[in-house]
Structures are given as C-alpha cells and as structure tokens.
Amino acid sequence: MNEYDSNRIYDVVKEIGFKKTEILSEATCYLLNTCHIRDKAKEKVYHEIGRLKKNFRLKQKPIVIVAGCVAQAENEEMLKREPYIDFVIGPQAYHKLNNKIQEYLKKQKRLDETEFDAISKFSFLKNIKNSSKKVSSFLTIQEGCDKFCHFCVVPYTRGPEFSRSFNEIVKEAKILVDNGVREIILLGQNVNAYENKNFRLSDLIFEIEKIPKISRIRYTTSHPKDMTDDLINLYKVSKKLMPLVHLPVQSGSDKILKLMNRKHLISDYLKVYERLKEINSEIEFSSDFIVGYPGESENDFNDTLNLVEKIKFINSFSFIFSPRPGTVASKLETIDREISLKRLEKIQQKLFNHQINKNKSLEKRVIDVLVENKTKESSKFFGRSEHMTPVIFDGNNDEVGKIVKVQIIKSNQNTLFGKVIRKSKLRVA
Ligand code: SAM
Ligand code: SF4
C-alpha cells in the first residue's frame, strides 16, 4: 500500500511543479513514506534523517516531510525529537500535501497534519495516473480496519474501515488500463471486507474484468473471515482472477488465533482452502505468519508447521512478533527471543522448501507470463507467472504488456528462467 501511496503522493506534488530525482543531493523536497507495522520503523526514520542531514551539511536544506503510518503514530514526538523534520503528514491526509507545502513555504512554521479523513482523501485524489508507465498497478479500494487483532497497529494508524465508491474504482481501473496497465492488484488492509452500497469485492472484480484490455486481476490482503461464498464462487467463472490466494493465517493453532483475536478457527481456514482447491486445483495459497506470539508453546508452533506442510504455501511472509505501542498484545509477556528466532528459522526453511519445490515442478513446463519490462542489468525481459512468481526470459519490446508463453528451463527459490515459445513453435500437446 505504501508503494501505491507513494505514487499517489507523486501525482499530487507534480501539480505544483515537483519532479522525482534519483540524486539525493539535488532534492529540494525530501519525503519519507513510512510503515509502522513492525518495530524499528521509527528508528529507521531517524537514521534516514541523519543521513540526509550529512548529505546537506554544506547545502541549502530541503523541505523535509515524514509521511505514512510512523508519522501518524509518532507525530508530536517526531517534531520534538528531530528539528530537521519540517512536517509530518498521516496516510489519510496526503491530498492536502500541496496546500501544506505552500503554507510551510510561506510561514516557515512546522506542521502536524495527522487527522483521519479517508473519505475526503479519495474524493480529492480521483484522477489517478500511471505516471511510471507500469504494466501492473496497485489500486486501493479499501483502507483501515475494524478487526483489532491484538498484535496489529493498523486500526490505530490507518483508522476505521472505509470502502471507496464502486463507480470511482471502476473509473480509475479504466483510466489505468487506458494508460497501459494490464494487471490490477486491488489493495486494502482488509481487501475482502470491501463493501460499498451492497457491492462486494466479488462484484468489483466481476466489473473490472469486463474492461477488454485488462488481462489479470489480483487482490490483497484478505482476512480468512471475509472469504465469503460470493468471492469463492467467483473463481468458478472468472477468467482474469489469478489463481494465487494470499490469505494470512498468522498461526496454525486455534489457541493462538483466539489470543490474537483473529475471529476464526483453523478448520474455517481449511474449509476455504478445500473449497478453492476443488474449484481449481491450480489455485495456490500464500500467507503471513507471526511466530513467537505471547503464549505460543512448542505444540502451538508445531501446529503452524503442520499447517504449512498441509497447505504447501508457495510464497509467504513470516515475522517474529513485534510488540506495537497501543495494541493489546504489547502488554503481554513476550517469549524468549532465542526461541522465537529458532522458530522463525524453522518455519522459513519449510516455506522456502515448498517454494523451491513448486518452482522446480514448473521446469520444462510452458506457462503464461505477463511481460512487465526489460531488465535493467541485461537484455532479458521480466514478467510474472499466474502465481506471481518472477520470470526472466528472452523477449522483445513489442511483447511488453502482453501475455506470452514461456518454457521454464531452470528455477531457484524466487525466480523462474525460461524462453518464449512463439506461435510457430507451439505444438498442440
Ligand atoms: N489484514 C491482514 C490480515 O488480516 O492478516 C494483514 C495486514 S498486516 C498490515 C500485514 C502483516 O503484518 C500481518 O499479516 C502480520 O503477519 C504482520 N504483522 C502485523 N503486526 C505485526 C506485529 N505486531 N508483529 C509481527 N508481525 C506483524
Ligand atoms: Fe491488522 Fe489485518 Fe487484523 Fe486488521 S485484520 S487488525 S489489518 S492484522
């Protein structure tokens, strides 16, 4: 979501004449977009500002803005602790950036803009562009969260659940497609909780799928409790919804799920998995895991390992529990760091093995790849499989934005390598 937000921020500040630069010392305005989901984010901000100060020691200082969820959570403290920061702006206020920059330039007075106002943000930010000319684009449809999992800071930094207007999203999808986008990733902290005037995520996907030039649709991140029948059944009929379901489970133990306030059981998760596999056996799952949650016993952790073994998630994120200020879990007694580290290593090894095996199983097979761009380092091209795995292959510029058939020659944990099979060479199997 921060990548999407950063692009929107750029679309906003472009209107008052700012341009992106890769050369730090050239910057007249420096904006740091931050994430607060795990620890160290705050310290990273001060570290980055320290580097910036060094860079500008002998030069005119740029306007320094800290945006995003760290700014939201630490607003006053940041301004107090680091005088080099000129203003902080929260994730629901960046539509006000231009006014704030101008106000700051006029008055030279430091600013704190961290109010929750998702509705006015989206009505202001209606003219999405595809400034970076990408083939695959994020599109935020929902923000915030009302679920209050005990470990998570999102409900406090992004605010309450808000779903954007159905028509606005479809309009934005069309603009993106007109500007060269062929894959849309619908985004939300709780994307499958989307609900606007009785329209649900499934309705949105169904409608966006009708845009002729769009090839692929994905959505992230979902909550298991919101995997409703309409969304599951959409996999039976949709031609463009990709067969990778990113569905964070966090833990394989019902006891830990309850302590986390996740509001579902492992049996519910397995039901979703089995129903989707029945609809299409090519559907794969990926997930997020938290290890070392307060109260997690060796048995609980083994339940998580067993779940990983059963589902064979192909591409997942795993983290050690990080206490976040203001959350219920931040007050609980943490488990030994060494134990958590060992568990993380163990689960990651298992997850990586499944990923390696999945990629290996594709060697010699011909798969559909959406071509995204030429790689910077070589003459090869970059694209992604239906399961979102990066694919590197010989291609040509005309194929960017198109789906090509690629025969996989070799693979490693994260990437597939292959060659494009052009029509004349394709034999019917
Ligand atoms: N809404 C999604 C869900 O319900 O699973 C997750 C969104 S959250 C922004 C992304 C991921 O960050 C979570 O799935 C979780 O694994 C991880 N995460 C969140 N808070 C965490 C914490 N306090 N410690 C470690 N990982 C955390
Ligand atoms: Fe955080 Fe996701 Fe839980 Fe919401 S549902 S509180 S975003 S982990």
Among 39, 72, 143, 152, say which to mutate for ligand 1: greatest number of ligand atoms within 8 Å of CB.
152
User: What pLDDT was estimated at residue 227?
Assistant: 97
Q: Which two tokens stand for residue 410?
A: 């070799």
Per-domain residue ranges of the chain? 2-117, 120-361, 366-420
| Distance between Cα 189 and ligand 2 center (Å) | 7
Protein residue whose Cα sits closest to atom 12 of ligand 1: 37
Which ranges of the chain have pLDDT less than 70?
A: 116-120, 123-132, 424-429
* Cα three-residue angle 199-200-203, rounded to 5 degrees: 80
Q: Which two tokens stand for residue 107?
A: 């008055």
User: What pLDDT was estimated at residue 120?
Assistant: 63
Model pLDDT for residues 72-99, shown as the tens digit of each residue: 888 888 899 999 999 899 888 888 899 8
Model pLDDT for residues 119-150, shown as the tens digit of each residue: 667 766 656 665 667 899 999 999 899 999 99
Q: Which CATH fold would you assign to the domain 366-420?
A: OB fold (Dihydrolipoamide Acetyltransferase, E2P) (2.40.50)
Contact present, 191 and 147 (Cβ < 8 Å): no
Protein residue whose Cα sits closest to atom 3 of ligand 2: 149
Q: How far apart are the first and last CA of the chain?
A: 41
Q: For ligand 2, is residue 160 a contact (CB within 6 Å)? A: no
Q: Which CATH architecture has domain 2-117?
A: 3-Layer(aba) Sandwich (3.40)
Protein residue whose Cα sits closest to atom 3 of ligand 1: 223
CB atoms within 10 A of CB 177: 20
User: What pLDDT was estimated at residue 348?
Assistant: 97
Among 288, 322, 337, 340, say which to mutate for ligand 1: greatest number of ligand atoms within 8 Å of CB.
288
- Angle between the N-to-C axes of helices 2-14 and 97-107, in degrees from 0 to 180, rounded to the nearest 10: 60
What's the predicted TM-score (pTM) here?
Answer: 0.89
Model pLDDT for residues 406-425, shown as the tens digit of each residue: 999 999 999 999 999 987 65
CATH assignment of 120-361, among 1.20.58.100, 3.40.50.1220, 3.80.30.20, 3.40.50.300: 3.80.30.20
